[in-house]
Amino acid sequence: MTKDEELEQLRAENRVLREALQSKDSELDQAQQANQDLREGLKQAIIAIGAGHERVNVLEGLIDALQERITTLERQRAKDSHNSSLPPSSDRFVRAPKSLRTKSGKKPGGQKGHRGHHLRQVEMPDEILIHPVLCCEQCHHVPKKPPCLSDGRSSTCQPSGFGSENIGWKKNSVRSVPT
């Protein structure tokens, strides 16, 4: 081989090596950029992990406080008039007893067919009490002359527990005059 051929061969090898070097430089730049991106991502992850640790610490403190509160409330709930010096009126968290009574389906009040109980009227009362009317029930007008007795119903009763005398009641009322 001649020197020219050898020189040409060396130049071709040099070109190939330069192209390989440029390719490797380009790969190195890409690797450095990827490395830089990974470092920034790692910094952000470390910051996020630190914030997560702070949040975990806060939540653990909250859990501890709530567990203490639960323990206190359970102790309070366990105390009642049976196992402490508390009076029975302070028993709390006790459900009211549920009635076992079932609905009958009847309406409230007196039922049809029931005779009822009331005071019986007597023929001749021992005493008659008259309640005078001082004014009209509707217009509250005070009449100048004494009111007339109405033919309204008078009641006579014999209350239980008042002895054997009969008392009659009469209502003295003002008659309304049709106009």
Residues 16 and 67 in one domain: yes
| Global model pTM greater than 0.75 | no
Q: Is residue 178 part of a domain?
A: yes
* Residue 99: inside a domain: no
Q: Do 75 and 126 share a domain, yes or no?
A: no
The answer to whether 113 touches 154, Cβ cutoff 8 Å, is: no
Residue type, 60: E
144 has a pLDDT exceeding 70:
no
* CA distances to 56, 97, 173 from 131, in Å: 86, 51, 9
Task: Look up the domain containing 49 and give its range.
Answer: 1-85
Whether residues 29 and 80 fall in one domain: yes
> Which band of pLDDT confidence, cut at 50, 70 and 90, is reported for residue 44?
very high
Q: What is the mean pLDDT of the chain?
A: 79
18 and 78 fall within a common domain: yes
Higher per-residue pLDDT: 105 or 137: 105
